[in-house]
A and B are shown apart, each in its own frame.
Chain A
Amino acid sequence: MSTAYSAVGWNRQKKIYDGWIAAFCISYLALFISLTLLFNSEATFETILIRSTSTLAVLLLHIILSIGPLTRLNKKFMPLLYNRRHLGVTMFSFSAVHGIFGIIQFHSLSNTNPLLSLFLSNTNYGSIPAFPFQALGFFALIIFFLMAITSHDFWLHNLSPIVWKTLHMFVYAAYILVVMHVMLGVIQYEKNPVFVLILFTGSASLIILHLLAGLKERKIDKMKFKLQEDGFVYVCEADEIEDSRAKIFCIDQERIAVYRHEQKLYAIHNVCKHQGGPLGEGKIVDGCITCPWHGYQYLPHNGQSPPPFKERVSTYDVRVNHNKVWLNPIAFAEGTEREGALL
Chain B
Amino acid sequence: MNNNEFYIGWMPAAPKGYAKQVTIAIVVVAVLVLALASLVSMQQKKFSNSVFEYGQLTEVTGIYQQFPVPSIKVYTQQNNGSSFITMPLVGYGKHGAEGIIRSLEEERAVSLDQKQITLKGTLIYYDGKSLLQIDKHDKPLLSIAATLSSSHQPKTKELGTVDLIGEVLDPKCYFGVMKPGRGKPHRDCAIRCIAGGISPVFYVRQQNAGPLYYLLLDEKGNKLNDFVKNYVADPVRLTARAVQVDDWIVLYVDTKKGLQRTGGLSWFKENDELIYCKPE
Contact string against B for A residues 222-262, beta-carbon threshold 8 Å, 1 for contact and 0 otherwise:
00000000000000000000101100000000000000000
A106-B36 in contact given A46-B178, A111-B95, A242-B3 (Cβ < 8 Å): no
| A11 CB → nearest B CB, Å | 6
A195 B36 Cβ-Cβ under 8 A:
no
Identify A192's interface contact among B13, B26, B43, CB under 8 A. B43
Contact string against B for A residues 173-215, beta-carbon threshold 8 Å, 1 for contact and 0 otherwise:
0000000000011101110101100100000000000000000
A78 B7 Cβ-Cβ under 8 A:
yes
A40 B38 Cβ-Cβ under 8 A:
no
Neighbouring B residues of A63 by C-beta, 8 Å: 29, 32
**What is the CA–CA distance of A40 and B38 in the complex, to the nearest angstrom?**
12
A39-B48 in contact given A13-B14, A107-B192, A110-B193 (Cβ < 8 Å): no
Neighbouring A residues of B68 by C-beta, 8 Å: none
B38 A42 Cβ-Cβ under 8 A:
no
The answer to whether A95 has its CB under 8 Å from any CB of chain B is no
The answer to whether A79 has its CB under 8 Å from any CB of chain B is yes
B34 A31 Cβ-Cβ under 8 A:
yes
**What is the CA–CA distance of A77 and B192 in the complex, to the nearest angstrom?**
48
B192 A83 Cβ-Cβ under 8 A:
no
Interface size of B by Cβ–Cβ distance < 8 Å?
63
**What is the CA–CA distance of A245 and B5 in the complex, to the nearest angstrom?**
11
Identify B39's interface contact among A121, A198, A292, CB under 8 A. A198
The answer to whether A44 has its CB under 8 Å from any CB of chain B is yes
B18 A110 Cβ-Cβ under 8 A:
no
A185 B185 Cβ-Cβ under 8 A:
yes
Nearest CB to that of A184 among chain B residues? B184
**What is the CA–CA distance of A63 and B187 in the complex, to the nearest angstrom?**
31
Neighbouring B residues of A109 by C-beta, 8 Å: 92-95
Nearest CB to that of A43 among chain B residues? B47
B7 A79 Cβ-Cβ under 8 A:
yes
The answer to whether A321 has its CB under 8 Å from any CB of chain B is no
Neighbouring A residues of B234 by C-beta, 8 Å: 129-130
Neighbouring A residues of B261 by C-beta, 8 Å: 130
A77-B188 in contact given A111-B195, A130-B234 (Cβ < 8 Å): no
Neighbouring B residues of A118 by C-beta, 8 Å: 188
Neighbouring B residues of A150 by C-beta, 8 Å: none
Most buried by A among B22, B184, B234: B184
Neighbouring A residues of B30 by C-beta, 8 Å: 24, 27
**What is the CA–CA distance of A39 and B37 in the complex, to the nearest angstrom?**
13
Neighbouring A residues of B17 by C-beta, 8 Å: 76
Identify B178's interface contact among A33, A44, A108, A184, CB under 8 A. A44
Neighbouring B residues of A323 by C-beta, 8 Å: none
Identify A189's interface contact among B1, B11, B12, B184, CB under 8 A. B184
| B135 CB → nearest A CB, Å | 11
A13 B36 Cβ-Cβ under 8 A:
no
Residues 1-41 of B contacting A (Cβ, < 8 Å) = 1, 3, 6-14, 17-22, 25-26, 29-30, 32-34, 36-41
A295 B8 Cβ-Cβ under 8 A:
yes
The answer to whether A160 has its CB under 8 Å from any CB of chain B is no
Neighbouring B residues of A78 by C-beta, 8 Å: 7, 18
A110 B192 Cβ-Cβ under 8 A:
yes
Neighbouring B residues of A242 by C-beta, 8 Å: 3
Residues 80-108 of B contacting A (Cβ, < 8 Å) = 92-95
The answer to whether B186 has its CB under 8 Å from any CB of chain A is yes
Nearest CB to that of A39 among chain B residues? B42
Neighbouring B residues of A130 by C-beta, 8 Å: 187, 234, 261
| A248 CB → nearest B CB, Å | 16
A110 B43 Cβ-Cβ under 8 A:
no
Nearest CB to that of B91 among chain A residues? A109
The answer to whether B263 has its CB under 8 Å from any CB of chain A is yes
The answer to whether A283 has its CB under 8 Å from any CB of chain B is yes
Residues 152-203 of B contacting A (Cβ, < 8 Å) = 178-180, 183-189, 191-193, 195-196
**What is the CA–CA distance of A76 and B5 in the complex, to the nearest angstrom?**
10
A82 B9 Cβ-Cβ under 8 A:
yes
The answer to whether A342 has its CB under 8 Å from any CB of chain B is no
Nearest CB to that of B34 among chain A residues? A31
The answer to whether B264 has its CB under 8 Å from any CB of chain A is yes
B180 A189 Cβ-Cβ under 8 A:
yes
The answer to whether B278 has its CB under 8 Å from any CB of chain A is no
The answer to whether A9 has its CB under 8 Å from any CB of chain B is yes
A31 B191 Cβ-Cβ under 8 A:
no
Nearest CB to that of A188 among chain B residues? B184
B40 A32 Cβ-Cβ under 8 A:
yes
Nearest CB to that of A132 among chain B residues? B188
Neighbouring A residues of B257 by C-beta, 8 Å: none
Neighbouring A residues of B12 by C-beta, 8 Å: 11-13
The answer to whether A341 has its CB under 8 Å from any CB of chain B is no
Closest 8 CB pairs of A and B: A109-B93, A82-B9, A76-B21, A189-B183, A110-B94, A31-B37, A110-B192, A42-B47
Ordered by A's residue number, 16 sampled pairs between the chains whose C-beta atoms are within 8 Å are A27-B34, A31-B38, A32-B40, A42-B179, A44-B179, A47-B178, A63-B32, A75-B1, A80-B25, A106-B186, A107-B192, A112-B195, A121-B187, A122-B187, A186-B185, A292-B7
Interface residues of B (CB under 8 A from A): 1, 3, 6-14, 17-22, 25-26, 29-30, 32-34, 36-50, 92-95, 178-180, 183-189, 191-193, 195-196, 230, 234, 261, 263-264
New contact pairs (11) apart from A1-B10, A55-B40, CB-CB < 8 Å: A24-B30, A27-B37, A63-B32, A77-B25, A79-B7, A110-B95, A111-B196, A129-B234, A130-B187, A130-B261, A185-B184
